[in-house]
Amino acid sequence: MVALYWIAFALAWLIALAWTRVTLTALRHLPRIPSLLDPRITARLTSVTRNSSPEISLTVILPARNEGAAIESTLRSLLAQTIPLEVIAVDDRSTDETGDLLERIAAEPLPPGKFLKVLHVAELPAGWMGKTHAMALAARQAGTRWLLFTDADILFAPDVLERALLFAHDSGADHVPLALTLTLKTAGERFMTTVIQAFTLFTFRPWKIADPDAKRDSVGVGGFNLIRADVYRAIGGFEALRLEVLEDLRLGYEVKRHGYRQNMVFGRDLVRVHWASGALGMAHNLTKNFFAVFRFRPAPLVAFVLGFVLLLCAPFAALFAPWLIRAAGLVALVMIVLGHRYSSRHFTGIPLLYVLTLPAGALMLAYSMLRSMVLTLHRGGVVWRGTFYPLHELRRHCGPLR
pLDDT tens readout for residues 336-353 = 999 999 999 889 999 999
Residues 295 and 256 in one domain: no
Cβ pair 144, 87 in contact under 8 A? no
The secondary structure of 160-177 as a DSSP string is: HHHHHHHHHHHHT-SEEE
Return the amino acid letter for 116.
L
- Which of 262, 292, 326 is the last residue in one of the domains? 262
Cβ pair 296, 302 in contact under 8 A? no
Cβ pair 342, 323 in contact under 8 A? no
> Is residue 200 one of the residues assigned to a domain?
no
User: What's the rounded Cα separation, in Å, for the pair 250 and 370?
Assistant: 22
Q: Which of 307, 300, 330 is nearest to 401 (CA)?
A: 300
Residues 24 and 53 in one domain: no
Which pLDDT score is estimated for 44? 86
| Global confidence as pTM | 0.94
Residues 358 and 252 in one domain: no
Range of the domain at 255: 46-158+211-262
Cβ pair 170, 38 in contact under 8 A? no
Residue 228's CATH number: 3.90.550.10
State the total domains in the chain: 2
Residues 88 and 144 in one domain: yes
pLDDT tens readout for residues 307-327 = 999 999 999 999 999 999 999
**What are the residue ranges in the chain where pLDDT is below 70?**
46-54
Residues 83 and 27 in one domain: no
User: What's the rounded Cα separation, in Å, for the pair 69 and 65?
Assistant: 11
Q: Which of 229, 228, 209 is nearest to 217 (CA)?
A: 209
Residue 147: alpha-carbon gap to chain centroid: 17
> Is residue 303 one of the residues assigned to a domain?
yes
Q: Between helices 187-203 and 278-285, what is the axis angle to 10°?
A: 40
Cβ pair 74, 152 in contact under 8 A? yes
